[in-house]
Each structure stands twice: as structure tokens, then as C-alpha cells.
Amino acid sequence: MTYKILVVDDSKLARMAVAKAFNNVRPEWTRIEASSAEEALRLAKESHFDLALLDFNMPERDGLHLAADLKAAQPEIVLAVISANHQKEIVDRSQAVGATFLTKPLTELTLRDFLENAELKLKAHKT
């Protein structure tokens, strides 16, 4: 089964790195990119996403606030917050909004593990 994933990061380089890993791990899935939280929210109003990978550190609105907004709009969305800043507080806050915390730089193995777990969650929602 294919899924639709939203990748949000204000860094084009970071989005390119995620895209490369994503294309190696799940090339058949649809990936949409956004460069800001505002763009991500606009896209989420226009379309349904199964998953979202969100950069934590973005201008104006961080990934945790965006995660909460996306979860409110689409309760079954599977979320990951990505950051090089892996302080316990950020990890705990990620979990509190229902998101998995992933460390930057995102490796192909980490992404594969997250997507495999996400797929199990999404399949469970459909049954």
C-alpha cells in the first residue's frame, strides 16, 4: 500500500537529504515538501496526509506546535519531529503531542524504522 507523506523543513538541503533517503526506502510513496509551518498547514487543509516529518527548529512556528495543529486537523496522522537538539525536554514534548522524535541528521536506517512502525499504525487504524 502506498501512503502520502508531508516533509516540512525550512532548510532546502535538509529536505533534499530526507528526499534521497525516502526515495531509497519507500520510492512508491508520495512525498510532498513544505518549507514552513504555514505552507504545511495550507497543504494539510487542501489534502490528506498519512504521515508527516517535521523539523523542530523553524522560524515563526516550531515543529512541535505544527505537530499539534496537524494532529488536531487529522487525528490519525503519524508524526515525527526531527532535530539535532535531542534534549530530554524536546523528546518528551514530542511524545506528548503524539510524535516520534528522530535525531538529525536523519539516516536511511532511522527513516526505514520509523516508516515501518508508521505503516503498522496506519494499517491498524484501517482495521
By residue range, what is the domain housing residue 58? 4-126
Total domains in the fold of the chain: 1
Cα gap 84→91, rounded to integer Å: 11
- The closest alpha carbon to 53, from 1, 88, 26, belongs to 26
pLDDT tens per residue across span 45-86: 999 999 999 999 998 889 999 999 999 999 999 999 999 988
Cα gap 125→76, rounded to integer Å: 7
Give me the phi and psi of 53, to 5 degrees please. Answer: -110, 120
Q: Are strands 78-83 and 99-103 parallel, antiparallel or unpaired?
A: parallel
Q: Assign residue 63 the CATH number of its domain.
A: 3.40.50.2300
At residue 60, the pLDDT reads: 87
